[in-house]
Amino acid sequence: MRINLMLQNKKYQIAVIGLLIGFSLFLIYYFHYMLGISVVFTHFFYIPIILAAIWWKKKGLIVPLLLSLALILSHIFSGEISLPVTEDYLRSVMFIFVGVIVVILSNEIEKSRESLSESEEKYRSVVESAVAAIITLNSDGNIISWNKGAHNIFGYTENEIIGKSATILMPEKYREKFYSGLRKSNEKYNSFNKEGMDALRKNRNEFPFDMSVATWNSRGENYFTAIIYDITERKRAEKQLKESLNEKEILLKEIHHRVKNNLMVISSLLSLQSRYIKDKTTLNIFKESQSRARSMALIHEKLYNSNDLKRINFGEYIRTLTTDLFYTYVADPNLIKLNMDVEDIMLDINTAVPLGLIVNELVSNSMKHAFPIAYGSELRENISTNPNEINVNFKSEDDDFILIVKDNGVGFPEGLDFKNLDSLGLRLVNSLTDQIRGNIQLKVDDGTEFKIIFKENEY
């Protein structure tokens, strides 16, 4: 370090070059005038020429010019040298040529050094201004580089940490794995990421962090540079968000539970009130209203018992609802066979509620009107000789959902416009189909078949 400072000192440079030029002039005088021969040791002349070119660049070319001039003039005026002066001309040309080459190389080296210094300065600025901790370890796992971000995160200053093992930053549980991982990384260059690990601050408090590690080699030695992010605030925010979501989930579950209870209360009130009704038409209206309330209550019950508070398994819902309707409306279960072919499809509550009411209306209509004998009527002559069946199908096909409710009962009269009937149930089905932007079709061949095709809307 001290020698470098001396070499950069201008006075020292002038003194060194002056001494070397003086000795070179002495050699010229000694060989030309005292021995009368050509200078033998001109190789020595290249020392001041090269040093001057390195230190002073173009200005340093004055040294080869001065030595060349001294060599030629001394040769000419001494008069006693047998060799022709052209030999010293050639030596002088070589002096100048070497000086020029050294100046060019020195300029290129200087530019490269400046470029490298600028690049290093930019790198240091980026590293030092980074919020993240940027730490470099050698192959032994000792810290050799430590930025301000690392100081802010861990609490150690650069002087306190440089040269120490990286295990000082780790809880005990990671230290053994660190050394085994270090040996493996020394064998092959691995770059990797680690998330959600724990580290130790200077005060020995643990904190969570994410880390990205790059392995690199310089002059045959492996180095590891880690970029470390303190995720304490993120973890705290995630915890608060999770707690908030849990609170909202509990609240939504409670809402679904209360809505279900309220609907079941309404259904129970309708059931109690219906006991005092003697008129069959009025009684049927009460039973239909009770059934509609139960169909909506069932959706909220499914949501309350589900992990997904916005979507339900509609296939499971259909199986539960239709079975409930079957034992509500069918007087003798042996007279009707209920067939269900439904896929387990998750539907949003905004689609499930109207679609559930549609299923309730269509299935209950089939059970009440397709087979009057099974519902308690005396219209035996209208019953088909085939086994009485109600089929409920629900499936997805490409981007569409398809619901089919079909029976082989008495069927609708030919040419009946089912979209313009006074029946509240069918008007409700048409209205709810429009609500889910579906398309409803009716077939009256061998019974009745309602087919509804729809896409689930985004909510």
Token pair for residue 293? 């309330």
Query: 165 phi and psi, to 5 degrees?
Result: -70, 145
State how far the Cα of 83 lies from the Cα of 157, in Å rounded to an integer.
71
The 10s digit of each residue's pLDDT in 163-197 is: 999 999 998 888 888 877 777 766 666 678 888 88
In Å, what is the CA distance from 282 to each residue of 169, 279, 371, 373, 426? 80, 5, 21, 20, 18
Question: What secondary structure does DSSP assign to 383-400, as a single string?
Answer: S-SSPPEEEEEEEEETTE
**Per-residue model confidence (pLDDT) at position 29:** 81
CA dist 152 → 137, 227, 364 (Å): 19, 14, 71
Q: Which amino acid is it at 42?
A: T
- Output the pLDDT for position 446: 81
- Distinct helix (H) and strand (E) counts, the chain: 14, 12
Q: Which two tokens stand for residue 230?
A: 């303190």
261 — phi, psi (to 5°)?
-65, -40
Half-sphere exposure of 117 (CA within 13 A, CB side): 6
**Residue/partner pairs of 202-210 with CB below 8 Å, 24 or more apart:** 202/154, 202/155, 202/156, 203/155, 206/171, 207/232, 208/232, 208/235, 209/153
Of the candidates 62, 68, 86, 87, the residue with the CA atom closest to the CA atom of residue 28: 68
Give dist(CA 396, CA 32) in Å, integer: 110
In CATH, what number does 130-230 get? Answer: 3.30.450.20
Q: Residue 190 phi/psi, 5° resolution?
A: -120, 130
| Predicted local confidence at residue 92, as pLDDT | 85
Q: Do the Cβ atoms of 348 and 436 come closer than 8 Å?
A: no
Report which of 399, 395, 403, 394 is spatially closest to residue 451, judged by C-alpha positions.
403
H helix runs in 231-313, sequence order: 232-274, 280-304
d(CA 146, CA 266): 71
Helix (H, G, I), strand (E, B) or coil at 197: strand
Q: What's the chain's length in residues?
A: 459
pLDDT confidence of residue 384: 47
How many Cβ atoms from other residues are within 10 Å of residue 394's Cβ?
24
Going across the sheet that includes 221-230, the strands are: 143-146, 133-138, 221-230, 206-218, 192-200
Helix (H, G, I), strand (E, B) or coil at 141: coil
User: What is the CATH number assigned to the segment(s) 333-459?
Assistant: 3.30.565.10
Report the C-alpha gap between 237 and 232 in whole angstroms.
9
Closest CA to 448 of 392, 381, 374: 392
pLDDT for res 360: 86
**What's the pLDDT score for residue 156?**
93
- Which amino acid does the sequence have at 305? N
Q: How far apart are the first and last CA of the chain?
A: 73
Q: Which residues pair with 407 in a beta bridge?
A: 390, 448
H or E element in which residue 305 lies: none
pTM above 0.75, yes or no: no
Residue pLDDT, tens place only, 312-342: 898 998 998 888 888 877 777 888 889 999 9
SS3 label, residue 212? strand
CA-to-CA distance for 131 and 210, rounded, in angstroms? 13
- Digitized pLDDT (tens) for each residue of the chain, 459 residues in all: 454 545 567 888 888 888 988 888 888 888 777 777 766 567 888 889 899 888 888 888 898 899 888 888 877 777 665 656 677 788 888 888 988 998 898 888 888 888 877 777 776 777 777 888 999 999 888 999 999 999 999 999 999 999 999 999 998 888 888 877 777 766 666 678 888 889 999 999 999 999 988 888 888 888 888 999 999 998 888 888 887 777 777 766 677 667 777 777 777 877 777 777 878 778 777 777 877 777 777 777 776 677 776 788 989 989 988 888 888 777 778 888 899 999 999 988 888 888 988 988 898 888 888 787 555 444 444 444 568 889 999 999 988 999 999 998 887 776 667 777 767 778 888 898 999 899 999 888 888 899 999 998 775
Residues forming a β-bridge with 404: 393, 451
As a whole number of angstroms, the distance between CA 228 and CA 449 comes to 65
Give me the pLDDT at residue 383, please.
46
